[in-house]
Amino acid sequence: MLITHPKLTKLLQQAYSAEKAAAFAYQGHAGSLKNQDEKIPVRQIELDEWKHREEVLKIMKQYQIPVSKKYEFQFHVIGKTISFSCYVIGWFMPYYFAGRLESGNVCEYFVMIHYFHELGIKEHDQILYEMAIKEKEHEVFFLEKVKGSKLLPFFEKLFNWGKRRSFNDVDLENKFPVEQSDNYCKR
């Protein structure tokens, strides 16, 4: 089935490629950590990102949406650059920027649900919802890692994300069910 929804097409293409960038970044992040116990959850998050990429590709194939060579190249370079930088920028920034990135990714998947609903398509609600919630869990994990840092107030003010600011409106303690996921990330 072919769909014509330029915003949805672009968002799917970007998400597919950005998940690779995130996975690469987490490879570097985990590799830069000295404590083995700290590496394990970051490596799991990397695996989650590869799984998300796989799921997005399934959706893209269903609607004959091609992978964007431009985004693949762009996000490959970004991911590898971030991966390398994790070895030289200290512990705080990889955790902080990972949390900030994941915060924005939450709405990416809920917006896809909104766009699919505009087309009368609801069959992807469950998987997109699950990926959005997983991204929120990642955000919370990374915020936990930096919440006691003296750098956080400065970074929160500068980059608009932290204890008091998020790029999504999901509360893991009071989640809407998948059937009401239209309530999230209204823009």
Query: Each residue of 75-111: pLDDT tens digit?
Result: 999 999 999 999 999 899 999 999 999 999 999 999 9
The CATH number assigned to the domain holding 174 equals 1.20.1260
Report the distance separating Cα 129 and Cα 106, nearest Å: 9
Please indicate, yes or no, if residue 1 is contained in any of the structural domains.
Answer: no
Please indicate, yes or no, if residue 164 is contained in any of the structural domains.
Answer: yes
Number of domains in the chain: 1
pTM of the model: 0.94
Kindly provide the b/e burial profile for residues 54-81, where b requires at least 16 CB atoms within 10 angstroms of the residue's own CB.
ebbbebbeebebeebeebeeebeebbbe
Q: Which domain holds residue 131?
A: 6-183
Query: Each residue of 130-175: pLDDT tens digit?
Result: 999 999 999 999 999 999 999 999 999 999 999 999 999 999 999 9
DSSP 8-state secondary structure symbol assigned to residue 177: P
